């Protein structure tokens, strides 16, 4: 069978970074083809070349056996390739219909094109049972539905080959199931799907074949049925990895962090958190399970003092924190440290060299200041030394304190942020998405450090959208939905189905 898409010897460098090295890939028509690999393995670059964002330095793209030149997304669309990005490319203030015809309006005046598009859109959404109102504003749609609009957009432009980049990162488990059903349907109609993910479970569930990338090279392409998650993980990392974390039981100590009746209202007057009460004890990890956007981010930020609650009280180590002390700098002095969810927006300053990012929040440290009378100036040698020690302790690569923070891979950025906070000896550590965008090898390392910290008696509040991570690390799990805590479980007494129900808002009083 002629492959629907064939990439031959694709090579691409960005300066000194060799992102793709002689990559070959053949995707069979009417199949779902998974591509896995660690962050920075070159998956996104490869797909960007296929979709015309970048041009390859060398190599050939063949569609249906014929070599083609794809120099822009317009070329890709013309060849029947559609892409659904991880971050949707939708105009929120426009309707579904307007978004779908955007860039394919078919004339200066909208009316004729819109009428034609409406008919086509209705046909497509009937054919795939998508149930989308073409006149709904995109901003009113749920994330799952917005993703369908993206898929519709690609289908409307006649895509036979659909590339999905980490499509499930933003979905609830039921939404992900619906997506998988849709993909199966597309496949049944003979369309080809390329599915990029780092979740091995999803690869196993939906793909027919899977390709593994590592350090810019394609290391294997296998029928999914002939492989297993551990085997794939080993191919991705190049060595054996522990997918599960070992941890021994530990009796928690005194409460180190207590939230009592916390409520948060955002700038638009929307209630983001309602009546949140929780306790984190010394030497335990409390996990917050929930689908992204259900208040976990606000919970972390309010506890860290980044945003202020409209109601409620916070105690650290038993001591009530008055409102004027609820700012990150003061809380830090009390031993409450914070690894934020979004390391690029909060955890570090991308344009700063690593040693400056490694001082974020701790610039008042006298060790970083020159002796009086120049105390307002930094002792940069001390800062660089400190950063070098952090990098050694957490295996940050490359161990170069002068390198710009944005130049480190996601995993190494995360290790730097973790190192900065952990090495200050927290009493309480708030951790948001510790392994988002982090490669498998680093995930294992980060998990072990968090467990070690718990064993040393630190109270940890863990927020993550990865249910496996919550279940693997936590001693106790709170599920959140719609800004409320919908249930509490002991880690050993629950499973994904049980938590999934709680995360979906099936609230109940007792566990």
Partner 1 sequence: MSAPIELPRWADVALVPAVSVVAAFIVAGLVVVGIGENPLTVTRILVTGSIGSADAIGFTLYYATNFIFTGLAVAVAFHAGLFNIGGEGQATLAGIGVSLACLNLPFLPAPLLIVAGILAGAAFGAVWALIPGWLQATRGSHVVITTIMFNFIAATLVVYLLVNVMGRAGSMSPETAEFPAASHIPSAREVLGALGIAQPSTPLNLSLALALAAAFGVWLLIYRSRLGYAIRTVGASPGAAIYAGISPGRIVMVAMAISGALAGGLAVNELMGAQHRMVLGFTAGYGFVGIAVALMGRSHPAGIVLAALLFGALYQGGAELAFETPTITRDMVVVIGGVLILFAGALEGLFRRLVARTLTVAAPRRAREA
Residues that bind partner 1 (CB under 8 A): 13-16, 53, 57, 304-306, 327-330, 332, 338, 340, 342, 345-352, 356, 359-361, 363-364, 369, 376-378, 380
Judge contact between 335 and 345, C-beta under 8 A.
Answer: no
Count of C-beta atoms within a 10 Å radius of residue 223: 10
Count of C-beta atoms within a 10 Å radius of residue 3: 18
CB of 422 to partner 1, least distance (A): 16
SS3 190: coil
Nearest-CA neighbor of 437 among 458, 461, 464, 456? 464
Judge contact between 472 and 447, C-beta under 8 A.
Answer: yes
CB of 365 to partner 1, least distance (A): 10
CB of 417 to partner 1, least distance (A): 10
Nearest-CA neighbor of 486 among 478, 497, 475, 495? 478
Nearer to partner 1, 12 or 476 (CB): 12
CB of 57 to partner 1, least distance (A): 7
Nearer to partner 1, 282 or 304 (CB): 304
CB of 485 to partner 1, least distance (A): 24
Nearer to partner 1, 112 or 377 (CB): 377
CB of 270 to partner 1, least distance (A): 19
CA distances from 447 to 250, 343, 395, 468, 472 (A): 16, 17, 14, 12, 9
Nearer to partner 1, 163 or 235 (CB): 163
Nearer to partner 1, 143 or 360 (CB): 360
Nearer to partner 1, 204 or 360 (CB): 360
CB of 297 to partner 1, least distance (A): 12
Sorted by sequence, the CB contacts under 8 Å of residue 66 that are 6+ apart come out as: none
DSSP 404: B
Sorted by sequence, the CB contacts under 8 Å of residue 380 that are 6+ apart come out as: 355
Q: Where are the alpha helices (DSSP H) in 102-247?
A: 110-127, 143-156, 173-188, 200-206, 229-237
Nearer to partner 1, 3 or 426 (CB): 426
Nearer to partner 1, 180 or 378 (CB): 378
| Whole-angstrom distance, CA of residue 281 vs CA of residue 253 | 6
| Whole-angstrom distance, CA of residue 137 vs CA of residue 97 | 9
CB of 216 to partner 1, least distance (A): 15
């Amino acid at each position: 069978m002629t492959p629907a898409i064939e990439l031959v010897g694709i090579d691409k460098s960005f300066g000194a970074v060799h992102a793709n090295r002689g990559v070959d890939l053949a995707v069979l028509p009417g199949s779902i083809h998974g591509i896995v690999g660690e962050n920075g393995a070159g998956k996104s670059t490869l797909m960007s070349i296929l979709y015309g964002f970048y041009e390859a330095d060398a190599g050939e793209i063949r569609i249906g056996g014929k070599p083609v030149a794809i120099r822009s997304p317009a070329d890709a669309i013309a060849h029947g390739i559609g892409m659904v990005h991880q971050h949707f490319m939708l105009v929120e203030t426009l309707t579904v219909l307007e978004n779908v015809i955007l860039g394919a309006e078919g004339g200066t005046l909208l009316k004729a094109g819109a009428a034609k598009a409406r008919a086509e859109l209705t046909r497509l959404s009937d054919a795939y049972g998508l149930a989308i109102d073409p006149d709904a504003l995109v901003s009113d749609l749920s994330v799952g539905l917005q993703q369908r609009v993206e898929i519709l957009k690609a289908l409307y432009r006649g895509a036979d080959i659909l590339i999905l980049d980490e499509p499930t990162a933003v979905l609830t488990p039921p939404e992900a199931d619906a997506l998988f059903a849709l993909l199966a349907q597309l496949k049944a109609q003979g369309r080809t799907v390329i599915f990029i993910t780092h979740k091995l479970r999803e690869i196993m569930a939906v793909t027919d074949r899977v390709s593994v990338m590592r350090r810019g090279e394609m290391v294997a392409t296998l029928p999914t049925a002939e492989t297993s998650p551990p085997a794939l993980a080993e191919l991705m990392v190049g060595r054996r990895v522990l997918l599960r974390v070992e941890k021994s039981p530990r009796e928690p100590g005194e409460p180190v962090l207590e939230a009592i009746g916390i409520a948060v209202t955002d700038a638009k007057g929307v209630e983001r958190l309602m009546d949140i009460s929780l306790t984190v004890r010394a030497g335990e990890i409390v996990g917050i399970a929930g689908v992204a956007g259900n208040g976990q981010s606000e919970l972390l930020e309010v506890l860290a003092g980044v945003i202020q609650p409209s109601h409620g009280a916070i105690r650290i180590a038993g001591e009530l924190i008055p409102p004027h002390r609820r700012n990150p700098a003061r809380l830090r002095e009390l031993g409450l440290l914070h690894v934020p969810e979004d390391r690029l927006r909060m955890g570090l300053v991308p344009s700063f060299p690593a040693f400056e990012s490694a001082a974020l929040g701790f610039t008042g440290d006298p060790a970083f200041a020159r002796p009086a009378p120049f105390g307002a100036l930094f002792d940069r040698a001390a800062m660089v030394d400190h950063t070098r020690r952090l990098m050694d302790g957490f295996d940050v690569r490359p161990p170069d304190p002068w390198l710009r923070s944005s130049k480190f891979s996601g995993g190494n950025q995360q290790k730097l942020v973790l190192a900065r906070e952990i090495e200050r000896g927290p009493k309480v550590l708030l951790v948001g998405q510790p392994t988002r965008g982090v490669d498998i090898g680093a995930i294992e390392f980060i998990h072990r450090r968090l467990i070690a910290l718990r064993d040393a008696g630190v109270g940890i509040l863990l927020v993550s959208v990865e249910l496996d991570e919550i279940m693997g690390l936590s001693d106790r799990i709170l599920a959140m939905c719609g800004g409320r805590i919908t249930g509490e479980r002991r880690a050993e007494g629950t499973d994904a189905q049980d938590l999934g129900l709680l995360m979906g808002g099936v609230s109940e009083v007792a566990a």
